[in-house]
Amino acid sequence: MSIAEFQSKSASSSELVLPLSEALEALQLMAQSGVSVLGWDGWLRYPDGKLGHSQQHQGTASVPQLSQAELYAWFRSTMQDSQVEHHRNPEVSGSELLFCITYQA
The tens digit of pLDDT for each residue in 51-101 reads 999 998 888 777 778 888 888 899 999 999 999 999 999 999 999 999 999
Domain ranges of the chain: 3-104
Q: What is the pLDDT of residue 85?
A: 96
How is 16-84 classified by DSSP, letter by letter? Answer: EEE-HHHHHHHHHHHHHHTPEEEEEEEEEE-TTS-EEE-SS----SS-----HHHHHHHHHHHHHHHHH
The CATH number of domain 3-104 is 3.30.190.30: yes
Q: Which one, of 16, 21, 33, 23, lies nearest residue 102 by Cα?
A: 16
pLDDT at 64: 77
pTM to 2 decimals? Answer: 0.92
**Res. 50 pLDDT band, cuts 50 70 90:** very high
Residue 100, pLDDT score: 96
The pLDDT value recorded for residue 88 is: 96
Euclidean distance between CA atoms 103 and 18, whole angstroms: 14
